Homo-oligomer: A and B are copies of this chain.
Amino acid sequence: MMKGIGLSFVRIGEFAWSRLEPSEGAYRFEWLSLAIEALDRAGLKVVLGTPTATPPKWLVDKMPEMAALDADGRPRRFGSRRHYCFSHEGYAQECERIVELLARAFGGHPAVAAWQTDNEYGCHDTVLSYSPAALQAFRRWCEAKYRSIETLNEAWGNVFWSMDYRSFDEIELPNLTVTEANPSHLMDFQRFSSDQVVAFNRRQAQIIRRHAPDATILHNFMGAFVDFDHYALSDDLDVAAWDSYPLGFLERSSHDDAFKLRYMRVGDPDFQAFHHDHYRACGRGRWQVMEQQPGPVNWAPWNPAPAKGAVRLWTFEAFAAGAETVSYFRWRQAPFAQEQMHEALLLPNAAPNDAYHDVARISEELAMLDARVETARAEVALVFDYESAWAWRIEPQGRDFSYFDLVMGFYRALRRAGLSVDVVPPTAAAIADRTLILVPALFAPSHDFAEALAQSGATILLPADLPPGVLRRIIDIRVRRVESLRPGARITLSGHGAFLRWREFLALGESVAPEFTSEDGETALARSENVFYLAGWPDEELLNNMLRHVAHVAGISTLDLTEDIRVRDNGAMRYIFNYGAASTDISALVGEETLLIGERLLEPCGVAVFRRRDCFQRAAQNTSQDATTK
């Protein structure tokens, strides 16, 4: 059946420890071997998951202190999944043992094309652990970073409330304090915790690479999840994969009820694309969707059915953004345990469910298109930085300040303008060869990054909190005051929109002039040649106006898309998507071209594709990254 609808890869094994090793040392790999053989015989490739997200009961009983402790100091117990502390060396060694055995057993099998490490690192708030193991590891991490306790005291400003330590062994974890802990303490604990995840993953990756040097190593990341540095972890992977649940993520988002109702059955039109563009950067061009939602799920507050055509829409969005593979979770609905209400390509009784038919159609269309999927470098780079996400979460200064929402807002406005975007880290390499670079709310840019910006020549927008830091070398301003604004408070810019939530009061140097001004007389958008600084959190109107203005300065032409239409270019192909509830005439976007898929009156969830004759030249230039095909 899988082959019949065009599937090529099957992921298995990712939670199977209790069946691979029912008791300590009593291995049962036969069933897995049989499964791999069966898939191989059918011409399918296997993505084999390591089972380390679900240590079995006997292992937890053998070393109870392997449990993470939550912020209240309580052990997180057996009975679901992810019940381990990333800092527990004993558990890490158990993981090495089982991964080594699996890699030896299956690393050489020709059908095992890829390996997935663990599963959704950090899911269920599992990055931070307040265990004794984490405490000891954190003390050593601090020692390695600061060398002397005096340096740490100085760096954290521990003098403020007599929080000085006399040695690294006096350091505590920043939980259960009377009021908020020192933000530097929290920040370093977050950095440390992220490092622990990266190190945990690296141990598995190294073992797999030793035994399966030709296999692809990947991990399935999540959406809207910033608890560890995905760029850093991806350095040990070949492919960055992510699990795309458009309806579940929308329900869990911070959007208002009207937005959630409007897109209840298709998802946020920009959320998936943002992650595609981000994980492409994580995977250095190589990325995929590991779990695509095929029907209602079970884990959101409400779980509606996707609109007819939505699964196909999401799949095309992924391929158009350069996905090597789109995989669906899951093949067949299981009538038991935590996800029994999570739908699949097959019903529990093995009959085809709706998405099964969608997949069959997609396979035919992809074959017909014969699209050579490329991962071209975009003219526009939007910087997304994990450390900034942590900083704004630890010290938001206004209750509703969300770094993720702010960057998503920029992304949405860029996409509304029809632009293709790379969502990249704040590194010199990531911003090289760009025409427009956006750097919202960056916490602590490195000197190298500042230097790269200064040399860039690109048009740059810095809507960041910036008490004269290293970035002052590219625009001579000082932030003399910041304020956060409660819901309902607006700082209006006549005709351009308004600031919400956050605004800054700037002092401008001589080389800087106000480009937009607020009605209360402050500089809202400062400009120094091709560098702009936005002094607040823009509402949607301001975002759209300001980004079109900046793009115009950068010499980038924009489209004027209606609310529910989105466009994606991939090589010579242009994809048009309709996220609306009504059919929409897209003739103005198609012009004289011939549609390979879709109609000019594009139906709800419709996808239209055509080959652009005007883009060959540009495409030819953008070959700095390898193009890959599905």
Known: A163-B18, A337-B183. A261 touches B481 (CB 8 A): no
Residue A347 at the B interface, CB < 8 A?
yes
Contact between A80 and B180, CB atoms less than 8 A apart: yes
Known: A80-B177, A172-B78, A178-B126. A304 touches B485 (CB 8 A): yes
Contact between A338 and B74, CB atoms less than 8 A apart: no
Contact between A57 and B182, CB atoms less than 8 A apart: no
Residue A185 at the B interface, CB < 8 A?
yes
Stretch in A233-241, A371-379, A394-402, A444-452 touching the partner: A394-402
Residue A271 at the B interface, CB < 8 A?
no
Q: Which A residues are closer than 8 A to B by beta carbons?
A: 15-19, 22-23, 51, 54-58, 61, 68, 72-83, 123-124, 126, 156-166, 170, 172, 174-185, 251, 257, 260-261, 264, 295-296, 298, 301-305, 334-341, 343, 347-348, 353-354, 395, 397-399, 467, 480-489, 505
Contact between A398 and B156, CB atoms less than 8 A apart: no
**Copies of this chain, tallied across the complex:** 3
- Shortest distance in angstroms between A392's beta carbon and chain B's nearest beta carbon? 12
- 14 residue pairs of the A-B complex, CB under 8 angstroms, read A19-B164, A56-B164, A61-B170, A74-B176, A77-B172, A79-B172, A156-B337, A157-B334, A159-B337, A261-B488, A298-B397, A303-B483, A304-B485, A347-B480
A245 to B181, CA, bound (A): 22
Contact between B481 and A305, CB atoms less than 8 A apart: yes
Known: A72-B74, A489-B264. A348 touches B467 (CB 8 A): yes
| 8 nearest CB pairs, A to B | A157-B336, A160-B337, A18-B162, A54-B162, A79-B177, A157-B337, A302-B486, A301-B399
Closest to A55 in B: B162
- Given contacts A57-B165, A257-B488, A343-B481, 11 further A-B pairs with CB under 8 A are A15-B162, A16-B162, A18-B158, A58-B170, A77-B175, A78-B172, A160-B337, A179-B338, A261-B486, A261-B488, A341-B482
A264 to B483, CA, bound (A): 11
Closest to A70 in B: B176
Contact between A304 and B484, CB atoms less than 8 A apart: yes
Contact between B257 and A58, CB atoms less than 8 A apart: no
Q: Which chain B residues lie closer than 8 Å to A73 at the CB level?
A: 74
Contact between B176 and A75, CB atoms less than 8 A apart: yes
- Shortest distance in angstroms between A120's beta carbon and chain B's nearest beta carbon? 11
**A181 is contacted by which of B17, B79, B182, B348 (Cβ under 8 Å)?**
B79
Q: Which chain B residues lie closer than 8 Å to A75 at the CB level?
A: 176
Q: Which chain B residues lie closer than 8 Å to A182 at the CB level?
A: 79-80, 337-338
Q: Which chain B residues lie closer than 8 Å to A17 at the CB level?
A: 162
A343 to B175, CA, bound (A): 26
Closest to A260 in B: B486
Contact between A264 and B78, CB atoms less than 8 A apart: no
**A166 is contacted by which of B58, B343, B354, B467 (Cβ under 8 Å)?**
B58
Known: A73-B74, A79-B163. A304 touches B489 (CB 8 A): yes
Closest to A304 in B: B483
Closest to A167 in B: B57
Known: A61-B170, A79-B163, A177-B83. A302 touches B485 (CB 8 A): yes
